[in-house]
Structure 1
Amino acid sequence: MTGGCACGRIRFEAAIDSDEAYLCHCRMCQRASGSVSLAMVGIDQADVRWSHEPDWYESSAIAQRPYCAKCGTSLGFRYTTDTDRMDLTVAAFDNPPYFRPTSHFGAESIHEAWLDTSGLPRTRSDGYQKLVERWRAAGEEPR
């Protein structure tokens, strides 16, 4: 499967053998992403091919995170020693709906109110006229 950052500077191919993913709620992932959790896919590092080596952020004494320094996209996580594995963010894949959540990690930091938001009102981006007008004023079709 393929994926990459928002600006396209960093692309990857990953050999994926399962649709299983997990939500990480640990404070490091929350702070690194600016989100309440990160959807992640575990993979062997040898199964990832980068078209352009990502930038790496030393997020703690034991881990580092690949990202794009140009657009800021968070691409994953890996420990710095004693592992051949890493995690890639589900949203960085070109086809994120392929994956399904199977577990939670960092449960001590779960924000319970954000787990089931299915009852909240929904607005489609393409139905929000002000956003559509902004895209068209910029000379592009709405995304």
Structure 2
Amino acid sequence: MPDYLGSCLCGNTKFEVQGDLDSFYLCHCQYCQKDTGSAYAANLFLKSAKLTWLEGSESVTTFTLPGSRHKKSFCKFCGSALPSLQEAGLLVIPAGCLDTEVSMPPTAHIFTSRRAAWEEATSDVPEFEGLPEPTKRA
């Protein structure tokens, strides 16, 4: 029985993972900001795990940034981030691609010296449970 199930946004790729989570990092490096288009990437790391593609393995594309260890796998149809096998057999899973709930809290924020300047300003920003109603402008 798999420990985790996941898929891409379009549903073309589906996978399962057997293994225990080792760490859960929120990475603020510029590579992860570019990868996600956001302030940071939320990635799970597993040292000894088995990744099995259930559907759509031929839809998975992997990009390695030349001159770095930075690697990203994604669905070539919808662009969703997907698990990738890194150096020394380390499996990295973008937390958002899992369909199974992740019970592990984040281990740490990393590369915080590279934090996006606007990220600090989010503590006082209003929150909505869904899409807010459009506001009228004067």
Q: Please give the range of the TM-score, normalised by the shorter of the 2 chains.
A: 0.7 to 0.9
Q: What do residues 63-94 of structure 1 show as CA deviations (whole Å, max 9, x unaligned)?
A: 32110110011124554xx4110311111111
Give 2:88's aligned residue: 83
Q: Are 2:21 and 2:44, in contact at CA under 8 Å, matched by a contact in 1? A: no
**Structure 1 unaligned blocks of 5 or more:** 131-143
Percent sequence identity is 24
SS, match of residue 34 in structure 2:
helix
Give 1:28's aligned residue: 31
- 1:39 counterpart letter in structure 2: A
Give 1:103's aligned residue: 108
SS, match of residue 25 in structure 2:
strand
- 2:81 counterpart letter in structure 1: S
Matched, 1:71 2:78: yes
User: Deviating runs (4+, > 6 A) in structure 1?
Assistant: none
| Aligned alpha-carbon RMSD (Å) | 2.7
Give the TM-score normalised by structure 2: 0.74
Q: Are 1:12 and 1:48, in contact at CA under 8 Å, matched by a contact in 2? A: yes
**Structure 2 unaligned blocks of 5 or more:** none
Give 2:41's aligned residue: 38
What is the number of equivalent residue pairs in this alignment? 127
Q: What do residues 17-47 of structure 1 show as CA deviations (whole Å, max 9, x unaligned)?
A: 2484110111111111111100010024752
Q: Are 2:20 and 2:49, in contact at CA under 8 Å, matched by a contact in 1? A: no
Give 2:97's aligned residue: 92
Give 1:10's aligned residue: 13
SS, match of residue 100 in structure 1:
coil
Give the TM-score normalised by structure 1: 0.72
